[in-house]
Amino acid sequence: MKRINMLSKADMVKGQGVLSAHDEQVELAREVMKDRALIRENSREASEITHYHSINPEFYLSAFWRRRQGALVGYVHFLPETVENSISLPRVAKNIFYKYMISFYKRMDYLVTVNPVFIDKLADYGIPSEKVTYIPNVVSEKNFYPLGKEEKRKAREKYGIRPEAFTILCAGQLQRRKGVFDFLDVAEKMPECQFVWAGGFSFGKISEGYEEIKARMENLPENVKFLGLVDREEMNQIYNMADVMFLPSYEELFPMTILEAMNCGIPILVRDLDIYQPILFDYVLRGQDQEMFIRTLEKLKENRQFYEKSAELAFTGHKFYSREHVGNMWESFYEKIFQEEQARKREKNRGDAPNRRVVLWENKKQQYI
């Protein structure tokens, strides 16, 4: 049986979406490839495909000898521009890290990105578009799903939320780019609503905006709760106790939190970013500034018909990004690599094997959408 080795150290940083995306993808890969490939994690054994989920230095070095075994697949969870406002480091250190990141991606034979916008962005760094495949994130219905009224009531009681309070949730790391200050400003202007932030400083003191956010947290409005870092196993309760998911981020890729909220069937309000256009369609509500956010949140609170329609659209998004749909994309992707690797090995046995990095993409024009 063929082998796929999943390499990741995303669990080194608690509370980041990369870890959630890794766990969901590995579980899905095991499901769709169960009769054709053995899925291992962080194994040193040989494999036809090595799939890198994180870009740790030891993985970079391992690419030299793992390429002799088979194809290398890299998962693009971020680019320099998405990291820029996530961590606070000296400019020299950031520039070195960014060069390393792009070098890591260039070392791969195949790349997968969760947002099609990043295909062109990677091309700007000198990575051929033919090398990149778009496959979106996915969230299991076993982990995230709507709860009944009584379970929602118990969840609110657990976290100290009044049963009647219109509750607005944001889930994500505490960083400047996540729109924390907009979240707090909107909360101050809507004192009749309860605002909850689930997430913390995943990168500690080097989280961008750490000092400013900490200072603001020392004098929170009465209607704001920060829950800190929350285990993923508890997040289904937290989404379900909320009336709205509000994500005012300035920069994102394809947040797992949006998919998780979709699964739970609650309306989702995001900042109107270009990067969302090819992935979120009409499944979410959009705003450009605090005034628009407040206007939309108030309409959700006061207009039941608008609320129910917005919740229905979000749940429709969950159906579009179903495990079956995304699973088919991964199955096709892995099967294509196996076929290309077999063809390359046949050529090698005849003594005229093509260079994988030069011609592997010649016939790869289909994006699995």
Residue 342 confidence (pLDDT)? 87
Q: Which fold has domain 2-138+322-359?
A: Rossmann fold (3.40.50)
Class for domain 149-320, per CATH? alpha beta
> pLDDT tens for residues 25-46?
999 999 999 989 999 999 989 9
> Residue 114's pLDDT band (boundaries 50, 70, 90)?
very high
Nearest to 298 by CA among 185, 190, 220, 210: 190
C-alpha separations of 160 from 23, 154, 217, 356 in Å: 30, 10, 18, 57
Question: Residue 53 has which token pair?
Answer: 């989920």
Asked if residue 133 has pLDDT above 80, the reply is yes
Residue 17 confidence (pLDDT)? 63
Q: What residue spans of the chain are helical by DSSP H?
A: 17-32, 57-69, 80-83, 91-107, 117-124, 149-158, 180-189, 210-217, 232-241, 256-264, 277-280, 290-302, 304-320, 323-349, 356-359
More confident residue, 241 or 9: 241
Instruction: Return mean pLDDT, the chain.
Output: 90
Residue 352 confidence (pLDDT)? 59
| Cβ–Cβ < 8 Å for 158, 138 | no
Say which residue the tokens 């309000």 belong to. 269
Asked if residue 238 has pLDDT above 50, the reply is yes
Give the integer Cα–Cα distance in Å for 263 and 144.
6
Please count the other Cβ atoms lying within 10 Å of the Cβ belonging to residue 63: 17
Sign for the CA dihedral angle at 323, 328, 331, 334 comes to negative
Q: Give the residue range(s) of CATH 3.40.50.2000 domains in the chain.
A: 2-138+322-359, 149-320
> pLDDT tens for residues 174-218?
999 999 999 999 999 999 999 999 999 988 888 888 999 999 999
Nearest to 196 by CA among 216, 222, 234: 222
| Cβ–Cβ < 8 Å for 59, 7 | yes
| Cβ–Cβ < 8 Å for 99, 105 | no
Cα distance from N-terminal residue to C-terminal residue, the chain: 27
More confident residue, 367 or 261: 261
pTM above threshold 0.75: yes
Residue 366 confidence (pLDDT)? 44
DSSP string of 105-133, one letter each residue: HHH-SEEEESSTHHHHHHHHTT--GGGEE
Asked if residue 282 has pLDDT above 80, the reply is yes
Question: Residue 180 has which token pair?
Answer: 């924390």
